[in-house]
Amino acid sequence: MKLYYHPLSPFARKVFIVAEQLGVKLETQMVDLLAGGGQTPDFLRLNPQGKVPTLVDGDFSLWESNAIVQYLAEKAPASSLLPNDARSRADILRWQFWESSSWAPACMVFVYERLLKPKMGQGEIDPGKLKRGEEKFRPLAKMLDDHLSTHAWLVGDGLTLADLSVAPILMYAEAAAYPMEGYPHLAGWFGKIQQLPAWLATAQPPA
């Protein structure tokens, strides 16, 4: 299986973390998004949205990081990352849908304004956007923090795909100054994730 990725993408990092945790080896292909690599006809045939991560397994091409990590976990030998009961699986999907519809878009406001905009020369930081970003981010962080005040992990008693889907966007929490103060349980949970060998092993993406 080959993963098309960009080294700065938190969604690609998610796939690398899960693959590492499952012991799945991936071939890799860097897509130079900043140089238009996502818009070439060859890449658009694999992913008509021109985005990474994109996984290719034989004649099957799959995009959306949460779908990709579900596929990797389904294909690997049984793993506690994806328990085999309907409630746990639905609960994991619930967190994954929440991550892609709410959590990641809220975090990406800070990533775009503070990291990507300057990197791509797209103008000044917009304080209004940061303010609205904070208004979006805080209730979501509070909800996560409340959940984690009574649960060690997002689903069940151990690490699952839910944790590994929700956490990667926090890789930019410090650099993009997400408003993280006031969420001690969220910080404690993220601290545990940052100690995982799979998190540490993926800090440097493939060259």
* Interface residue list for ligand GSH (CB under 6 A): 6, 9, 11, 33, 38, 50-53, 64-65, 100
Task: Give, in order, the Cα–Cα distances in Å from 145 to each of 17, 138, 150.
Answer: 23, 10, 9
Strands (E), 27-115: 27-30, 54-57, 60-63
CB nearer ligand GSH, residue 38 or residue 83: 38
Minimum CB separation from ligand GSH for residue 5, in Å? 9
CB nearer ligand GSH, residue 69 or residue 144: 69
CB nearer ligand GSH, residue 83 or residue 168: 168
**Measured at CB, which residue is nearest to ligand GSH?**
51
Residue 202's identity, in one-letter code, is: T
Minimum CB separation from ligand GSH for residue 111, in Å? 8
CB nearer ligand GSH, residue 187 or residue 198: 198
Burial class for 74, CB neighbours closer than 10 Å (0-12, 13-18, 19+): exposed
Minimum CB separation from ligand GSH for residue 152, in Å? 25
**Dihedral of alpha carbons 108, 111, 117, 120, sign:** negative
